[in-house]
Structure 1
């Protein structure tokens, strides 16, 4: 996994991470200061994790300042106590701070130890990171993703006309393409991206296995996105495009289908084209909302302007007036016809 910002934990924080695994620490607050991940505060265990939750969290967060919180639960796995990773990014924080913390999150998780992080919780308002907000999040994560009106219409059409339901575990032909099953790592990466763990995922088709595999799941800057597109084979990409639109900070999931022209065999081109729509339906069913689908020939097309224009096209309000075409040159004076 790439480290988007290059910001890493300082020595004090690394030592405290090691000490916190002993079990006395309930919550660790981590901040970014002077281009380092630093220990900002911590609280020790007093009661069980439910009773400690609101009392500890409310004392550590600042209304306008993002931070990370690592909250120790009471269950254990093979690596020790399980922890809840909380990413606090309030709406009132600056866009620069939001993006800095979002792009450094994967680094912090790696520094702490991903095997001990059981779940992630992202908060933009204080109610998101209360005990009630955490329980509400767990319930919503366990429930099936709600369908849009268009998705409900399509589901009803499929149910009444022809069986074209898309499954993660089975392969079959549909009216809109061929649905190859996706592997478990690919499915997990989509779920992780929906929870905010990654901003870039790449998939490929294994033609022999007739399955869709995960290539990579990571955090990258937009400038690195073109280099991720192969020049000799097809790929599917998911990218979280962070930008501002009309003064508001926006995060949009873009699905990109890349096929480098005729550098690929015809069978590969046909399979990638046929599997595209069933794959995006599967991604949506896993809770990741795709705001734009794009098709490209090469990575060089993936510029900030291109993505922005595709997501927010400009409508032209001024159409040129129709002009009567001019007559042929040197046709002489107009003839006058007299009526008797």
Structure 2
């Protein structure tokens, strides 16, 4: 089995991160996916517990602006956003976005932990349709979401 140096580095990083995933993370995601219980979920890494935990959920009545305001300006987070839209054929649809939020102003250590834990965490959430990596608000703007949804 041949493995590229890049794949090896990713595998080592995932193993090294050793980050567990709180069961509530999966439960809230399933509720969003199956029952449309939430508009968004913000996850954070609790460094003391070495675990990804739910930080905040947004009710279905909330919108994109509420979601964007929930992303801290100087701290990394993972987020799920359920984006509703109408297609050119006038069909109501939604897409589930996974967003790796890693602002330029966050601590280097935090960026490394989030980057090395991302793939492991994403594997726990079955049903993600679009993935975005964002380092500032423009990279996760509503126009970007809209463009990636179609």
TM-score by length of 1: 0.34
CA offsets per residue over residues 141-164 of structure 1, 9 Å max, x none? x9xxxxxxxxxxxxxxxxxxxxxx
Structure 1: stretches of 5+ with no match in the other structure? 76-80, 143-340
Structure 1 residue 126, shift from structure 2 partner = 1.4
Name the larger-Rg structure: 1
Structure 1 residue 62, shift from structure 2 partner = 0.8
Aligned pairs for 1:247-262 within 5 A: none
Structure 1 residue 70, shift from structure 2 partner = 0.5
Partner of 1:62: 72
1:11 equivalent among 18, 23, 40: 23
Structure 2: stretches of 5+ with no match in the other structure? 1-9, 86-93
Partner of 1:45: 60
Aligned pairs for 1:50-199 within 5 A: 52-53=63-64, 55-74=65-84, 82-113=95-126, 116-135=127-146, 138=148
Once residues 124 and 11 of structure 1 are traced to their aligned partners in structure 2, the CA distance between those partners, rounded to angstroms, is 27
Structure 1 residue 24, shift from structure 2 partner = 2.0
Partner of 2:5: none
CA offsets per residue over residues 235-272 of structure 1, 9 Å max, x none? xxxxxxxxxxxxxxxxxxxxxxxxxxxxxxxxxxxxxx
Inter-CA distance 12–118: structure 2 relative to 1 (3 Å threshold): closer
Once residues 23 and 132 of structure 2 are traced to their aligned partners in structure 1, the CA distance between those partners, rounded to angstroms, is 26
Once residues 62 and 74 of structure 1 are traced to their aligned partners in structure 2, the CA distance between those partners, rounded to angstroms, is 23
Structure 1 residue 6, shift from structure 2 partner = 1.8
Runs of 4+ in 1 over 6 A off after TM superposition: none
Once residues 14 and 83 of structure 1 are traced to their aligned partners in structure 2, the CA distance between those partners, rounded to angstroms, is 14
2:58–2:67 contact (8 Å) kept in structure 1: no
Once residues 92 and 32 of structure 1 are traced to their aligned partners in structure 2, the CA distance between those partners, rounded to angstroms, is 17
Higher relative contact order (CA 8 A, sep 6+): 2
1:27–1:56 contact (8 Å) kept in structure 2: no
- More helix, by proportion: 2
